């Protein structure tokens, strides 16, 4: 089954509502995307960006995180239903900044994956090794462990909704992107793990993105790889011209 390509922009803790509006307007002005485009603004700008994207084919919205509970005394948190109510289709889970700065565990991320699927959201589950883990020859072990823990309890029937993002920690925001061959190698490894978990047919439905210092100049090299179905882009997604070049590619 052909997987549709997905180019996702993680705006992180950038953009006021006014700035987010300007960025979304700039992207819409570039015309219909060649690929599916996912915009992940901060929570505060999700509604406004949604208004601007209404009726624009090819654009989707996602959040950058959420809590797994449906409601309750969790000050400062956002639940899956709140994101669904805003029309979000996706939610990034287990981003390395959540894992490393906020100490999110695989068990917590797993609960979030289950809650996202239960609320009709498509999880973008991020996995990736640190430089130290890579140098110790543990990259596949770490990434495979994050995958299995993150997906524990999820069913093969969810495969078409699931997105994985392979984001080596050392490549995020560093300007040092992985080589396309390395990205393909890890994407193929992840797909192999999915085959073991869910079987070949379901594994072939899961979209796997590469993330880590992707730019308009290097994105094609990743997209040329057979198991890489798109990109998760941080810094280079904050400017309409740059991000537009990544999904228009003309
Ligand atoms: C990210 O935050 O997911 C990311 C890949 O960032 P950057 O593109 O800036 O490396």
Average pLDDT for 105-133: 98
pLDDT digits (tens, 9 = 90+) for 120-179: 999 999 999 999 999 999 999 999 999 999 999 999 999 999 999 999 999 999 999 999
Q: Note if 100 is an active site residue.
A: no
Q: Note if 95 is an active site residue.
A: yes
**Among the options 104, 129, 158, 167, which is catalytic?**
167
Q: Helix axis angle, 46-53 relative to 17-29, nearest 10°?
A: 20
Contacts of 211 (CB under 8 A, 6+ apart): 10, 126, 128, 165, 166, 167, 171, 172, 231, 232, 233, 234
Task: Tokens 């601007």: give the residue.
Answer: 52
> Binning pLDDT at 50, 70 and 90, where does residue 189 land?
very high
What is the best residue among 211, 219, 228, 231 to mutate for testing ligand 1's pocket, by most ligand atoms within 8 Å of CB?
211
> Rounded to whole angstroms, how far apart are CA atoms 43 and 233?
18
> Rounded to whole angstroms, how far apart are CA atoms 164 and 145?
13
Is residue 250 scored above 60 in pLDDT? no
Closest-CA residue, ligand 1 atom 7, reads 234
CATH numbers and ranges of domains, the chain: 6-248 (3.20.20.70)
> Rounded to whole angstroms, how far apart are CA atoms 131 and 117?
31
pLDDT digits (tens, 9 = 90+) for 59-88: 999 999 999 999 999 999 999 999 999 999
């Amino acid at each position: 089954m052909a997987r549709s390509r997905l180019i996702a922009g993680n705006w992180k803790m950038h953009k006021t509502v006014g700035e987010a509006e300007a960025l979304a307007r700039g992207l819409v002005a570039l015309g219909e995307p060649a690929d599916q485009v996912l915009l992940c603004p901060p929570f505060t700008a999700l509604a406004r960006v949604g208004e601007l994207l209404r009726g624009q084919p090819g654009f989707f919205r996602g959040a950058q995180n959420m809590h797994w509970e449906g409601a309750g005394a969790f000050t400062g948190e956002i639940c899956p239903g709140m994101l669904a109510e805003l029309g979000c289709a996706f939610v990034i889970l287990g981003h390395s900044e959540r894992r490393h700065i906020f100490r999110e565990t695989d068990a917590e991320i797993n609960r979030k994956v289950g809650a996202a699927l239960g609320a009709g959201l498509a999880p973008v589950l991020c996995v990736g090794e640190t430089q130290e883990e890579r140098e110790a020859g543990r990259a596949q072990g770490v990434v495979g462990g994050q995958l299995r823990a993150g997906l524990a309890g999820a069913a093969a029937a969810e495969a078409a909704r699931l997105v994985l993002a392979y984001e080596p920690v050392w490549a995020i925001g560093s300007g040092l992107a992985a080589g396309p061959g390395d990205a393909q190698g890890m994407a193929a490894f992840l797909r192999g793990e999915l085959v073991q978990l869910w079987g070949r047919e379901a594994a072939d439905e899961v979209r796997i993105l590469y993330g880590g210092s992707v730019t308009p100049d290097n994105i094609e090299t990743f997209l040329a790889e057979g198991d890489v179905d798109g990109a998760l882009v941080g810094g280079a997604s904050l400017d309409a011209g740059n991000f537009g070049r990544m999904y228009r590619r003309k």
